Amino acid sequence: MTKYQAEPKETLVGSFLGQMKKPIFIVIDAMIMTFTIIFAFYLRLGWPLSSQYLDFLQKFLVPFMLLKLSIFYGLGMYRRLWRYASVQELRVIAQSVVLASFTVLFLSYSLGTIPIPRSVFIVDGLLTLFMIGGLRFFGRIFSELRGLRRMSSTARRELIVGAGSAGGMLAKEMLKSSSLQYLPVGFVDDDKQKQGQRLHGIKVLGKISELKDIIGAGNIDEVIIAMPSVSRQVKEDVVNICKQMGVRCRTLPGIYEIIDGHVGIGQIRDIQIEDILGRDPVTVNLDEIGKFVEGSVVLVTGAGGSIGSELCRQVAGLRPELLVIVDIAENSLFEIEQALLETNLCPIVAAIGDVKDRARVDELLELYHPKVIFHAAAYKHVPLMEANPKAALENNFLGTAVLAEASAYHNVAKFVLISTDKAVNPTSVMGMTKALAEMVVSAIDGASTVFIVVRFGNVLASRGSVVPIFQKQINNGGPITITHPKMKRYLMTITESVQLVLQAAVFGSAGEVYLLDMGEQVSIVELAEKLVELSGLNRDQIPIEYIGIRPGEKIEEELTAATETVLPSPHPKIFRLDNRDSSVSVPDLRELEELVRKGQMTIVFDKMKKLINTGEKRPLFLNL
């Protein structure tokens, strides 16, 4: 709405009523202040008052009352929405009353009038605090009760799992926002001390193990899991119980998704596959990561991809001096740029660029002088790279070499390569190119640049991964296509993987390779079945069709090679890898680079076989 556009009638009426409340509050407060000072004299000195005290009141009652009102006004007492009064508003009331009482006490003694007992002003202040504070909070209580009565018959009856801070904030917002038609009717929590207690007037009805009985007895419309750090198993148990009882189940975001610590109705979302097949939340040192990023220029390549975009979001939240986001794909770069600009967390520069283009890379590093580079740009689709080996080598291998060499030349402080478990004993072109990228980063000599590699497995729901593919097939009525019934993969949520990448980047030393703790491999068949259940369908309704292993794929992935020793790091979920067979030389890599640039792919393949420990004997490339 422009400043020249007329406001709707409802807005004008609401504004007028809001303005009318100010003088009403001022008049009521004036009456309260008049009463409290007279009553304080009575309580302290008895009645009738002596003539000297009556004379004092006649002279100073009105001036002192006006002084108090001026202090209240100056501290913003009449610029607040008291229907939403909270502890913050109570603090403002207390500050206003204390300041007003001490001011009046000071003036009464300064004016040289008859001595008034100090206790009179103390009693006056306590009475004023009680009556004015009570008036304000009565308005909030009345508003909430009226809202509850209005929505009790039509609102959705919500059962909240978790009576902690997140559940409390959620219930409080539901009570305030009666127009949204959420009625919290109870909590469920395993904490023994909370059983039978009340939070915001809402009772803790029992433990999670009693959830089935509570739903059956309470006419529940929906269950909301409000425990951001709860384990995957607990979420899965709650989801299964809700499915048995025919009740919708939703959740608040995980702990990594809550940036400012606040949760509310707008964050409630449906249960996702990450919630029940992801791993239990881990803890990272956010203060340490924040110091690493804050005030620095950070550059992210592949910024429009799944990992790259999440890196950008999390880095932006750590308040760098400047975040430079780089991608060759215009649309993807535009999308993440717009998302970051909406948050307004830090200055953003979006740069179209190809990591293979040395001139463009030099231009960006010379212009912005990044302290940290996260290299997430890579081709990742295994079958597609089998058919396009030269493109895979140019992007994943040569692109990494160009960016790493430029980083050393421009004295970038830290270079972090995002790698994959497919680089271990690779059986695919994509895996081989990422293995070569790891070799480049580990072998390059940067006098002032720390090069590290962070390796992990598949991330859930990333672009082009099995989760969105399966979801589309389910929406189309099936079948779900799986390559092999025994196919397994290491799975991790995008948010958690990026958190651990940032943590590894903090303590990473030159030439080191770090491995994220991926837990146990997950059956792809089990993943598909869980997705069917989350879609509200039975497994019999969506058939599974096995189509055979695609070129370059493994039945199961590996995280470490036989020559690598797994060592601990400063973080329990991050491991450092010591490679006993790290004999690859820079001249060998240089020679391979030249062969790729010349397109001599048969020779390239022979050379790679000598450099890389492959998992099995591979055929020649499909597209030489």
Please tell me whether the peptide bond between 479 and the residue prior to it is cis, using omega within 30 degrees of 0: yes
pLDDT at 197 over 60: yes
- Mark whether 64 and 86 lie in a shared domain: yes
- Mark whether 104 and 172 lie in a shared domain: no
Higher-confidence position of 371 and 48? 371
Query: Which whole-number Å values give the CA distances from 384 to 197, 390, 491, 599, in the listed order?
Result: 58, 11, 21, 18
Which pLDDT does position 312 carry in this prediction?
94
pLDDT at 253 over 60: yes
- Give SS3 for 356: coil
- Domain region containing 234: 152-271
Residue 607: inside a domain, yes or no? no
Summarised one tens digit per residue, pLDDT across range 410-458 is 999 999 999 998 988 888 999 999 999 998 888 886 678 999 999 988 8
Question: Residue 400: which pLDDT band, with cuts at 50, 70 and 90?
Answer: very high
- Mark whether 131 and 160 lie in a shared domain: no
Which pLDDT does position 260 carry in this prediction?
44
- Mark whether 300 and 266 lie in a shared domain: no
Residue 456: inside a domain, yes or no? yes
- Mark whether 463 and 327 lie in a shared domain: yes
Based on DSSP, count helices (H) and strands (E) in the chain, helices before strands. 21, 22
Q: How many domains is the chain partitioned into structurally? A: 3
- Mark whether 156 and 120 lie in a shared domain: no
Catalytically active residues, by annotation: 422
Higher-confidence position of 96 and 556? 556
Which pLDDT does position 434 carry in this prediction?
93
Summarised one tens digit per residue, pLDDT across range 128-179 is 777 877 777 666 666 555 555 555 556 788 898 988 888 888 888 887 766 6
Are 527 and 480 in contact, with CB atoms under 8 Å apart?
A: no
Higher-confidence position of 284 and 326? 326
Which pLDDT does position 96 carry in this prediction?
75
Q: Please say which residue of 271, 301, 321 terminates a domain.
A: 271
Summarised one tens digit per residue, pLDDT across range 465-506 is 788 888 898 888 889 999 999 999 888 888 888 888 999 998
- Mark whether 250 and 302 lie in a shared domain: no
pLDDT at 13 over 80: no
- Mark whether 72 and 199 lie in a shared domain: no
Closest among 459, 434, 454 to 506, alpha carbons compared: 454
- Mark whether 381 and 501 lie in a shared domain: yes
Question: What proportion of the chain, given as a percentage, has pLDDT over 90?
Answer: 23
Tell me the CATH number at 486: 3.40.50.720
Q: Which of 155-169, 216-230, 257-271 is predicted least confidently? A: 257-271
- Mark whether 201 and 133 lie in a shared domain: no
DSSP summary character for residue 82: G
- Mark whether 135 and 108 lie in a shared domain: yes
pLDDT at 73 over 90: no
- Mark whether 60 and 41 lie in a shared domain: yes
Instruction: Name 262's Cβ contacts closer than 8 Å, sequence gap at least 6.
Output: 169
Question: Residue 6: which pLDDT band, with cuts at 50, 70 and 90?
Answer: very low
